Structures are given as C-alpha cells and as structure tokens.
Amino acid sequence: MIIEDIPIIKVGMADMNAVQAPGVLKTSGLGSCIGLSLYDPINKIGGLAHIMLPSSDIARDQSYHVAKFADTAIPALIEQMVKLGAMKSCLQAKMAGGAQMFALASSEMMRIGPRNIERCKEMLSEYTIPLIAEDTGGNYGRTVELDCSNGVFLIRSVQNGVKQI
C-alpha cells in the first residue's frame, strides 16, 4: 500500500488560506487570536484564518492584511473558498482560541480574546454559516489543524493535550 504525503499548509498570524482535499491547514500561536475554519463537506474544500483582532475599524491605514480582522477575514476567506469551488450554502465553521491571556484585563480593550470570539460569531451569523463546534476561551494557547479530506479540526495545547472537534 502506498501512503501519500498529505500537504500541510501553514497559515501564519493575520493570514489565511484555502485548499481542496487532500490537504491540511495548520496555524500555531493562538492565544487571544482565533483560528477559524470553514469547511464545505460536499466539495471537501477547507479554509483557515488566523484572526488577531475583532474589527478593522481600528486600522490606522488601509494597507493591512485582511485576515488580521474578523470583519474582513471571514468574507475574504469565503470568497477564496468559492473560487476553489466551495458552495456558500454548504459551509460549516469551527473555531478555537480567543483566550484571555492577560489576568488583569479590567478594561474592554484588554479583553481581546472574548471580543474576537463575539465578533467571529456575529460575522458567521451575518453570513448564515453555522458554528458547529468550538474550543474557545480559557487562558492558554492552542495550535489547530483542519484536515480538508474529512473536516476534522484538531486542537493541541500544552494544558489540555490533543482533541478533535
């Protein structure tokens, strides 16, 4: 039996990518950031965005990476996936991250993780994409992988080991 090498595509901070199966999308260093995956199970097309902040309203200039903000990353990821052949009506979302990394986060500005979670959920609702699973919150970092052959979202953390949703 020949075992194929499945390509692993790394997604950096404020970055996103989409791929059709076979392929695995992976991002590391999710603290307050969100690893948001979109998946079309019919066409086996997946997308992953490493979202850092909730809103592009705070951008100082217009030359920012669209994947940096929830309000610009999600529409851009949908568009990228549709170009690969995904159907908007089939998309499902899973997400991880959004940790509260600062213990003394008394101000709203320091609640980056919870605000990222809220904004991603608002954007998914706006696009009528169901959030079928999440591993968010807490105070620890995560690494995530999306297997585009089956939609499995793997989450690794030092504190909680490995789980799949």
Compute the distance between CA of residue 80 and CA of residue 17 in angstroms, rounded to an integer: 8
| Of 79-83, 104-108, 127-131, 153-157, the least confident | 104-108
| Residue range 123-131: mean pLDDT, rounded | 98
Neighbours of 163 (CB within 10 A): 13
pLDDT band at 5 (very low <50, low <70, confident <90, very high): confident
- Which residue, among 73, 39, 37, has the nearest Cα to 53 in the 3D structure? 73
Choose the most confident range, by mean pLDDT, from 2-11, 42-51, 108-117. 42-51
Residue 58 lies in a domain: yes
Average model confidence (pLDDT) across the chain: 91
How confident is the model at residue 1, as a pLDDT?
40
Return the amino acid letter for 70: A
The answer to the question of residue 32 being in a domain is yes
User: Residue 146: which CATH number?
Assistant: 3.30.1330.200
- The answer to whether the CB of 133 falls within 8 A of the CB of 37 is no
pLDDT on residue 2: 45
Question: Is 160 a domain residue?
Answer: yes
Within a domain: residue 123?
yes
Whether 148 is a known active-site residue: answer: no
What does the pLDDT look like over 56-80, one tens digit per residue? 887 666 667 899 999 999 999 999 9
- Which residue, among 101, 91, 81, 82, has the nearest Cα to 129 in the 3D structure? 91
Q: Determine which one of 33, 90, 120, 148 is catalytic.
A: 33
DSSP reduced 3-state for 27: strand
pLDDT of 114 higher than 70: yes
Question: What percent of the chain is predicted at pLDDT more than 70?
Answer: 90
Domains in the chain, number: 1
What is the distance between the alpha carbons of residues 50 and 146, in angstroms, rounded to a whole number?
A: 12
Q: What is the pLDDT of residue 57?
A: 83
| Predicted pLDDT of residue 45 | 98
Say yes or no to pLDDT of 47 above 50. Answer: yes
Per residue in 10-43, pLDDT tens? 999 999 999 999 999 999 999 999 999 999 999 9
Helix 112-126 and helix 70-84: axis angle, to 10°?
Answer: 40
In a domain, 128, yes or no: yes
Q: Which two tokens stand for residue 42?
A: 């019919």
Residue 1 lies in a domain: no
According to the model, what pLDDT value does residue 63 have? 65
Cβ distance 74 to 37 under 8 Å?
no
- Residue 128's domain comprises 8-164
In a domain, 3, yes or no: no
Question: Residue 77 domain-assigned?
Answer: yes
